[in-house]
Homo-oligomer: A and B are copies of this chain.
Amino acid sequence: MKTKILTLLKSSDDYISGQELCERFGVSRTAVWKVMNKLKEEGYEIQSVPNKGYRLIGQTDILSESEIVSELTTSWIARPTYFFSKTTSTNIVAKSRLEEDGKSGLLVVADEQTSGRGRRGRGWQSPKGQAIYMSLALKPDFAPEKASMLTLVMAYAVCLAIREVTGLEAAIKWPNDIVVGKRKVCGILTEMNAEPDYIHSVVIGVGINANQTEFAEEIRETATSLYLESQATVPRARLIAKSMEHFERAYEQFLKNENLAFFMETYNDLLVNRGREVVVLEPKGNYEGIAEGINESGELLVKREDGTTTEVYAGEVSVRGIYGYV
């Protein structure tokens, strides 16, 4: 009920009477009063005026299950959403939740991670109260080799959401990152548990630097936050909800043909690598070229000096002038 009352308060500019709330949800005045107190405790500023009722006049950045769900307009993605004020790693929790109850589309969000994970077993700094750590768990029935495209679908969705919520010109650094200017604001880690022809689970983890005011020295040059770039506090719950909306829309498009043709052009417009010199880091040796954009399968087309074009399937690509260039 708390989430429903919150959603109603948010959608109304005017006061809503206690009487109306009681009737609408079939509960007592005391129950309504208790919910209002709970919301105030969580950080919402709620005005209550005798004979008028309740009005939501403001909020800072509140992260809770109710707040996220009150912002959600998806039909199945992020339903349910599980929120933790602290957990080990949202990827780990999302995977085990999916394996327990099997609901594809579930989302796990945390306000703090004690063992946040990055790519290839690296760590991911996960301080409390400032960033977004979320993992979406899916059980798709397409072939495992297509799962890498989900990273691109998520990057696309989060990039659009960041632009919408903050107004910043966020761009995608293929395949896993989102940057503002030359610095990283988001990283994506897709992990899969599969047989060669059968996916048991895919978890797409997203870490967004939302409201950090500073970074540890070792990443200060390469990382920034949406707050630092926009000078405004980002409402994390809204950014999560918008990301999930864009993801749901794009994912349903993706499922029709199981390729990325439907968003290739828009994606390439958002691509920071495009037209730039890149270095592709491969086990057999690095090579340079100009990134031309992705193809239908999400591979990065890299034009090399000898005129040939290489399709890079996945992996590490550095862009000159962007963090991580070697």
Give residues in A with beta carbon < 8 Å to B: 119-121, 141, 143-145, 147-148, 151, 175, 189-198, 200, 283, 313-315
Contact = CB atoms under 8 A, between A and B. Distances in A.
Nearest to A152: B196
Contacts of A147: 196
Contact of A198 (B119, B193, B198): B119
10 contacts: A119-B195, A120-B195, A175-B196, A189-B195, A191-B200, A192-B196, A193-B193, A196-B313, A197-B314, A197-B315
A283 B141 contact: yes
B194 A143 contact: no
User: What are the 5 closest A-B residue pairs judged by CB atoms, nearest first?
Assistant: A148-B196, A197-B314, A196-B314, A197-B315, A120-B198
Contact residues of A: prevailing secondary structure: mixed
Q: This chain: how many copies in the complex?
A: 2
B193 A192 contact: yes
A196 B200 contact: no
Nearest to A95: B193
Nearest to A196: B148
Contact of A190 (B141, B175, B195, B313): B195
B196 A193 contact: no
B151 A196 contact: yes
A106 to B, nearest CB: 18
Contact of A191 (B143, B193, B314): B193
A222 B263 CA distance: 48
Residue of A120, A141, A192, A197 ringed by the most chain B CB atoms within 10 A: A197
